[in-house]
Structure 1
Amino acid sequence: MSKTPKILIYTDGGSRGNPGPAACAAVVQSADDNQTLIEEGKFLGRATNNVAEYEGVLLGMDLARRLGVRQIEIRSDSELLVRQLMGQYRVKNPGLKPLYDRVREGLGDFDAVEVCHVRREQNVEADRLVNETLDAQRKGGSAPPSGRRTPDSGRGGPFRLK
């Protein structure tokens, strides 16, 4: 089995109103040089901020699977989400429990997983993408380029998603 590189998955979720129009985002970077490999924003419809945070983790894990990566470090500025995933807080909200279960089950797809809380200032790219996705939806559009971007979009970069 070949060793795959570790990636960093910055995730975020937000709603305008709680609940309200919501979106999530994931920015996947190489752990070696912090180069963004792929990022994606997703409009969720009406949801709470915490639901959007969990959806961001699910989106990031999906991107990692598409890249064939086996070692991930999930970074989120949601202390609640991180503490729940680490088993430090119980998931009391019945609306979050199915999402929590999906994330926990999905983590089993990877050989090595770390979950880390980061300060908001360290999560600006994922936050930016959440807001761009919400702004685009409000204006009647969709998220930027089908919600999916790579740093080399249109220039033949190392990753191509169809």
Structure 2
Amino acid sequence: MRELVVEADGGSRGNPGPAGYGAVVLDPATGETLAEAAEYIGVATNNVAEYKGLIAGLRAALDLAPDATVRVRMDSKLVVEQMSGRWKIKHPDMKPLAAEAARAFPADRVHYEWIPRERNKHADRLANEAMDAGK
């Protein structure tokens, strides 16, 4: 079974404000970029943008290798902890996004890892480019 790495990020300029996300699918052995996704999503909160980035990354991984396992790396502690089941999802806007993320790729083959922002530069760049394009 193949393993993929998804790195995802989202951001907003203001909270809420103009928002976008970026996601990249990587080969864990070589670091090669296999797919990228980025989109301006209009006015949204940072957390909504983070979830949208996760969903896009998981969908890209599914398109590449539906039988893979996926290691998701994000600098959003909130998303990582909520999707790992360690934190409850209390905000009503986050519940449908978390459910959509759980459906985007078989949840039993997805593992979440928090990484510092400086290790998430590729996805962060894509998110910022999406926000710049949406102005």
Q: Same fold (TM over 0.5)?
A: yes
Residue identity over aligned pairs, in percent, reads 41
Partner of 1:65: 62
Partner of 2:132: 135
Partner of 2:94: 96
Secondary structure at 1:44's aligned position in 2? strand
Give CA deviations for 1:72-92 in whole Å, capped at 9, x if unaligned.
Answer: 111100001111111111111
Larger Rg: 1
- RMSD between aligned alpha carbons? 1.3
Secondary structure at 1:104's aligned position in 2? helix
> How far off is 1:112 after superposition?
2.2
Q: Which amino acid aligns with 1:129?
A: L
Secondary structure at 2:120's aligned position in 1? helix
Please list every run of at least 4 consecutive aligned residues from structure 1 whose deviation after the TM superposition is greater than 4 angstroms.
none
Structure 2: state its 5+ residue gaps: none
> How far off is 1:107 after superposition?
3.4
Please give the alpha-carbon distance, in whole angstroms, between the structure 2 residues aligned to 1:41 and 1:114.
22
TM-score (norm 2): 0.93
Contact 2:74 2:113 in 1 (8 A): yes
Partner of 2:80: 82
Secondary structure at 2:58's aligned position in 1? helix
Please give the alpha-carbon distance, in whole angstroms, between the structure 2 residues aligned to 1:124 and 1:112.
25
Which of 1 and 2 has higher RCO (CA within 8 Å, sep 6+)?
2
Partner of 1:105: 103
Is 1:24 paired with 2:21? yes
Please give the alpha-carbon distance, in whole angstroms, between the structure 2 residues aligned to 1:135 and 1:92.
31
